[in-house]
Structure 1
Amino acid sequence: MTTAPTNTSSGSGLDDFLKFVIYCLILSIILVLLYTLGVLLFKEISVWRNRSLSSNGKVSEKTGATTNRRHTYKERINSVYMQWIPGDNTSG
């Protein structure tokens, strides 16, 4: 009667370590995806909240922007610049 060898500790340690690394990678990917989803939802909720706090919340037909509300982050970073033209002395 032959029996299977019971000394398989050399390969199982490496297999367990690889499984652990794979599980850690999968868990970290899931956590990163959940974090990005949470950030995106938080931004959308804050925009929705700003619109609901406005006096009328109507959308302008000309610009498509909502009137009487606080600016969102993207709207705040836009600035108006004047282009300097050489030889133009109208600014004084």
Structure 2
Amino acid sequence: MLRGLSPRLRGTAHWRHCHRAPSRFIPDRRLSDAERELIAQDYAMEEHMLAITCRRALAQYVLREYGINHRHVEGDPRAQQIELGNREALRQWLY
């Protein structure tokens, strides 16, 4: 068994869903409307949101690749440009 999951369940839709972390990136809320619109276009966001789903164990690395430090918010919003829109949903998988 893998973490209490029967070998029959590994690879099923249930297993894949339970081991995924949905990251939702949005333009930094402190930017002006025009700046947020530009950032949304630069990141090909749909409705000002970029959804990236990865394995839970890799959530921290996805944030790092997008230049987001979940523990520290830059003083200047132009330095970071995007932020994590669903921080609470991912908190348990971030270290």
Q: Same fold (TM over 0.5)?
A: no
Higher helix share: 1
Higher strand share: 2
Q: TM-score, normalised by structure 1?
A: 0.26
Q: TM-score, normalised by structure 2?
A: 0.25
